């Protein structure tokens, strides 16, 4: 055991597998970019009050999972546990909502929750998220959901499903909530669950224990108590999803852990991941902007878990990204050849080719082995004999075919070889 170890519960990625991590993030981000979302780079930590207000005082995230500390000025700050509150803060602070609506933004980066680590549950997690602010249009809900679905599909994933429901809004949820509470109070529940029923009764519906599930079989459901407006919104979202060719299942018992959600909520679930099966989730949050001191604008967005999506890829046997470290691997024999190849490597890199070289005076056998392990398509070998002849040997590693290339035109020769049979 080394003297220092990584902080508990934080995944680390290194080559060659880190290529897959990057590829997952790029695919998810790409789907958002293609739908007209612009990138925001935001603080990793914010004023603690922002999250307490934005995420909700009664949520587990706020009550027991935040990395909170005092900075040297005595201010209480918190490592961001989710992305939406920070985006809203930035939108309000910089007046991004003064122009055309909707404001469409995406972000990618680390988030932090102090929880007991588990398979797929980390204290530092990577997320890609989007937010569309200022237009309460069901088609926008559908767009956001479709972006996530597209991202997962682009990766080659198929073993997941999309669950959706509607949580209503201020016009219907309070009445339903009271009705559900009445129902729950009559059940023989344990103290902890009873307490949850008082604080956030909706979350009781999500209980996984079979005996509790049985008690809840006849519980009233939000989808049966939606206001006409919320019902219409929900129906339209489903219609647009069908238009977009996005498959979904309705899960009227789905619950989200953050307080700000209204109307549409959704979750992408993968069955191969063990207990932590959600690879992405989100929904509409029409009251959040006002809650944080901005104008009363609606919003809809999601957060996708990059770490869990990567796990899903592994489970499904898909390996996104290119694990090869370079395209061309230079093998010099002797100092004169090395000087020539070092220069050539620099020229090729300037032209966009990924090039590595056998450093450290490796023998030919060892250098060729390094070339093989690098994943390069070509090895470029130069020895004393080649120097004398003015040649380099370009060897295609997959076939073993090798041909001489004039050293003087080596850059174009290599470029041609790479481009030639690439298509």
Partner RNA sequence: GUGGGUGUAGCUCAGCCGGUAGAGCACUGGGUUGUGGUCCCAGGUGUCGCGGGUUCAAGUCCCGUCACUCACCCCA
- Which residues bind to RNA, rule: CB under 7 A? 1, 5, 8-9, 59-61, 65, 82, 113, 115-122, 125, 127, 196, 203, 206-209, 255-258, 267-268, 274-281, 303-305, 307-308, 333, 362-366, 368-373, 379, 381, 383-386, 393, 395, 397-400, 402
If we measure between CA atoms, which residue out of 183, 167, 259, 182 comes closest to residue 222? 167
Cα(129)–Cα(276) distance, integer angstroms: 19
| DSSP secondary structure of 157-184 | --SEEEEEEE---TTTHHHHHHHHHHHH
Calculate the CA dihedral of residues 209, 214, 218, 221 and round it to 10 degrees: 20
Tell me phi and psi for residue 421, to 5 degrees: -105, 20
DSSP β-ladder status, 262-270 and 160-166: antiparallel
If we measure between CA atoms, which residue out of 352, 357, 327 comes closest to residue 339? 357
Nearer to RNA, 236 or 319 (CB): 319
Cα(332)–Cα(339) distance, integer angstroms: 9
Query: CB of 147: closest distance to RNA in angstroms?
Result: 14
Query: CB of 383: closest distance to RNA in angstroms?
Result: 3
- Is 261 flagged in the annotation as binding? yes
- Is 256 flagged in the annotation as binding? yes
- Is 143 flagged in the annotation as binding? no
Nearer to RNA, 206 or 314 (CB): 206
| DSSP secondary structure of 368-392 | HHHHHHHT-SEEEEE-HHHHHHTEE
Nearer to RNA, 154 or 206 (CB): 206
Query: CB of 190: closest distance to RNA in angstroms?
Result: 11
Both structure tokens of 145: 């959901």
Query: CB of 123: closest distance to RNA in angstroms?
Result: 7
- Is 39 flagged in the annotation as binding? no
Nearer to RNA, 5 or 421 (CB): 5
Nearer to RNA, 217 or 275 (CB): 275
Nearer to RNA, 305 or 320 (CB): 305
Nearer to RNA, 319 or 402 (CB): 402
Give the length of the chain: 423
Query: CB of 245: closest distance to RNA in angstroms?
Result: 22
* Alpha-helix residue ranges (DSSP H) falling in 79-167: 84-93, 138-154
Spatial contact of 100 and 90, defined as CB atoms under 8 Å apart? no
Spatial contact of 157 and 309, defined as CB atoms under 8 Å apart? yes
Nearer to RNA, 239 or 363 (CB): 363
Query: CB of 114: closest distance to RNA in angstroms?
Result: 9
Cα(148)–Cα(53) distance, integer angstroms: 27
Query: CB of 368: closest distance to RNA in angstroms?
Result: 3
Nearer to RNA, 89 or 113 (CB): 113
Query: CB of 108: closest distance to RNA in angstroms?
Result: 12
- Is 82 flagged in the annotation as binding? yes
- Is 250 flagged in the annotation as binding? no
Query: CB of 363: closest distance to RNA in angstroms?
Result: 5
Cα(72)–Cα(306) distance, integer angstroms: 33
- Is 131 flagged in the annotation as binding? yes
SS3 content of the chain, % helix, strand, coil (to 5): 40, 20, 40
- Is 260 flagged in the annotation as binding? yes
- Is 160 flagged in the annotation as binding? no
Core vs surface per residue 344-356: b (16+ CB within 10 A) or e:
bbeebeeeebbbb
Task: Using alpha carbons only, give the angle 18, 38, 265 rounded to the nearest 5 degrees.
Answer: 80
Known binding-site positions: 82-84, 113, 127, 131, 256, 260-261
Known binding-site positions for L-histidine: 82-84, 113, 127, 131, 256, 260-261
């Amino acid at each position: 055991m080394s003297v220092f170890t990584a902080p508990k519960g934080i995944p680390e990625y290194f080559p060659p597998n880190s290529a897959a991590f990057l590829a997952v993030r790029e695919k998810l981000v790409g789907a958002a970019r293609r739908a007209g979302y612009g990138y925001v780079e935001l603080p990793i930590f914010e004023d603690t009050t922002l999250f307490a207000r934005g995420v909700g005082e009664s949520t587990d995230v706020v009550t027991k999972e935040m990395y909170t500390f005092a900075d040297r000025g005595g201010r209480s700050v918190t490592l961001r546990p989710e992305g939406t509150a920070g985006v809203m803060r930035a939108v309000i602070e910089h007046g991004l909502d003064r122009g055309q609506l909707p404001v469409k933004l995406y972000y990618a980066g680390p988030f932090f929750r102090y929880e007991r680590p588990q398979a797929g549950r980390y204290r530092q997690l990577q997320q890609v998220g989007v937010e569309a602010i200022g237009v309460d249009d069901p088609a926008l809900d559908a767009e956001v959901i479709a972006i996530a679905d597209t991202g997962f599909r682009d990766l080659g994933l198929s073993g997941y499903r999309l669950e959706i429901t509607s949580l209503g809004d201020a016009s219907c949820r309070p009445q339903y909530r009271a009705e559900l509470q009445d129902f729950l109070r009559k059940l023989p529940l344990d103290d902890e669950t009873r307490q949850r029923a008082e604080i956030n009764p909706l979350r009781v519906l999500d209980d996984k224990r079979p005996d509790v599930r049985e008690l809840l079989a006849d519980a009233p459901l939000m989808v049966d108590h939606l206001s006409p407006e919320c019902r219409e919104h929900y129906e339209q979202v489903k219609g647009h999803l069908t238009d977009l060719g996005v498959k979904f299942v309705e899960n009227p018992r789905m619950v989200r852990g953050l307080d700000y959600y209204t109307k549409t909520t959704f979750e992408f679930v993968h069955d191969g991941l063990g207990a932590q099966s959600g690879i992405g989730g989100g929904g509409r949050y029409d009251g959040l902007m006002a809650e944080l001191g901005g104008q009363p604008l609606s919003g809809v967005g999601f957060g996708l878990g990059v770490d869990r999506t990567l796990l899903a890829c592994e489970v499904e046997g898909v390996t996104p990204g290119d694990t090869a470290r370079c395209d061309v691997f230079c093998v010099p024999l002797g100092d004169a050849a090395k000087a020539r190849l070092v220069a050539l490597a620099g020229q090729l890199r300037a032209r966009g080719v990924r090039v590595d070289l056998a450093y450290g005076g490796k023998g030919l056998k060892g250098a060729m082995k390094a070339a093989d392990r690098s994943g390069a398509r070509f090895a470029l070998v130069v020895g004393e004999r080649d120097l004398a002849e003015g040649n380099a040997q370009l060897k295609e590693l997959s076939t073993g075919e090798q041909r001489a290339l004039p050293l003087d035109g080596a850059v174009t020769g290599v470029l041609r070889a790479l481009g030639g049979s690439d298509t």
